[in-house]
Amino acid sequence: MEVGAEHAKSKLHGRKYFAQLLTELEETPDSVRGLPRMSRANLELFQSMQRQLLERLAQDEPLAKRVELLMTVPAVGVVTALTWALEVGEPQRFTSVANAFSYCGLTSAQKSSAGREYRGPISKQRNKHLQRVLIEVAKLAPRPSPELAATHDREVERGNKNRATLAVARKLVAYLLAVDKSGKPFEPHRKPAQASGTAV
C-alpha cells in the first residue's frame, strides 16, 4: 500500500483480511481508499470469468482429454495446456519441431552477409499470445523439472538469462508437440543404467 499503511503482504489477497485492512485505514482519504476496493473488484471479476471459462472448456470431452495429457509435461498447468491446444489446433500441421518453434515466436531470423551467418532478432511473424504464455511458463519451469533446470543453467553459464528462458521455452514446445502428436503422457528422459549393473 503506497499510503504507508502497515499490512501483511502474504495475507493481502484474502477477502477477510482485505476488508479488515480497509476499515483500519482511518487517516486515509476516501478517494484513496476507493482505489484498492476497485482493484479488488476487478481482480475478483477476472478470476470469476477465468474460472467459468475453464469450467466450460472442460465440458468439451475431447479438449479436456487433450489438456489432461498436455498437463503431464513439467510445469504445464491448465491455462498453458488450453492455450497450446486452442492456438495450435492440429499438432500434425507442424512437420518438424523447428516449425513449431517458429510458429511460437521462439526462433530468430538467420541472415548471411559476406559469407558469414548470424542470427537477427526474434521473428515478428508469430503467434504472440502463445509466445507470451510460453515465455512466462519458461521462467518458472526449471523449478519442478531437473531437465529444464539443466537446460536453463547451461545457457546461464554462457552469460545470457534471456537465452536461457528461450531455451527452456523451446524445450517445452518440443515436449508439448511430442505429447500432442503421440497422444501419450510425457515421460522424462532416463539415462541408461551404469556399467556396474545398478538399477536406476
The whole domain housing 15 covers: 10-58
Give residues with Cβ within 8 angstroms of 133, minimum separation 6: 79, 80, 83, 84
Distances (CA, A) of 132 to 80, 85, 128: 10, 15, 6
* Same domain? 94 vs 26: no
* Same domain? 67 vs 22: no
The predicted pLDDT at position 13 comes to 63
The Cα–Cα gap between 123 and 10 comes to 39
- Give me the number of domains the chain comprises: 2
Long-range contacts of 59-63 (CB under 8 A, 24+ apart): none
The predicted pLDDT at position 138 comes to 95
Residue carrying the nine cell digits 497422444:
183
* Same domain? 153 vs 80: yes
Structural domain contains residue 100:
yes
10-residue mean pLDDT profile of the chain (200 residues): values are: 56 67 66 70 79 77 91 92 93 94 82 57 75 94 91 89 92 96 86 38
* Same domain? 21 vs 97: no
The Cα–Cα gap between 93 and 164 comes to 27
The predicted pLDDT at position 200 comes to 31
